[in-house]
Homo-oligomer: A and B are copies of this chain.
């Protein structure tokens, strides 16, 4: 769509997502937030808590996209292996980060609990910390890989702390309109409109509401003039098919 785009891949790390125990909501939040910042999520992977799987996914993603965002696996228990995997992916040792260690020592605890907590101070050598406004241990960044918590509230705080610190591309804007038409009733017109505006991505999403089939048409691109032109063309196609364009939305 745009060769100057800044791209990202999201890696959701955790067996609990793959088993179905937990419904992931982090990808959606990250995609919306990065979108506002002019960074396009081009791929996402859900990876199990298995070292080789995480290392391979990180190495693929960091060499393919501008940025990588991981969620999950940075707590104090035995199944939290993300930091070790990132270190292995970059082939650097794990070190104790003094800032995190100091933060952890500020809350008193018995020796065995403190030892477990100190696991969260272990980061790959060269890592830069990512703030955690919820008060817990921070996430970290190595090169173009950002490592965040899996708990949605904590992840969101970490991501928010990156606002203004990342490279931005043109923001992808959208136009959308719905009609109580089956997709097939406007498929021909949509194809012709898409061909006419190759720089804008035209998506067609059927829905069923109020006992009727309908279709949402969503246009996404960086050029607002083209978006507006395409929206008018789609609205005209809906009218041509005998229906009324509804719920026009500019995003």
Contact = CB atoms under 8 A, between A and B. Distances in A.
Interface of A: 15-25, 27-32, 35, 40-49, 53, 75-80, 109, 112-117, 119, 151, 153, 172, 174, 182-185, 187-188, 190-191, 194, 201-208, 218, 220
DSSP majority for the A interface?
mixed
A43 B45 contact: yes
A48 B53 contact: no
A203 B42 contact: no
Contacts of A182: 113
A184 B119 CA distance: 9
Contact of A18 (B31, B78, B188): B31
- Pick from A40, A46, A119 the residue with the most CB of B within 10 Å: A46
B21 A24 contact: no
A205 B117 CA distance: 15
A153 B213 CA distance: 13
A78 B220 CA distance: 15
Contacts of A48: 42-43
Contact of A19 (B31, B75, B117): B31
B46 A44 contact: yes
A39 B159 CA distance: 34
A43 B32 contact: no
Given A19-B41, A45-B43, A78 B205 contact: no
A220 to B, nearest CB: 6
Contacts of A204: 75, 77-80
8 contacts: A16-B203, A19-B220, A20-B30, A20-B32, A24-B27, A113-B184, A116-B183, A117-B184
Given A16-B203, A23-B28, A190 B45 contact: no
A76 B183 contact: yes
Given A16-B218, A19-B41, A41-B19, A112 B188 contact: yes
Contacts of A187: 76-78, 113, 116, 119
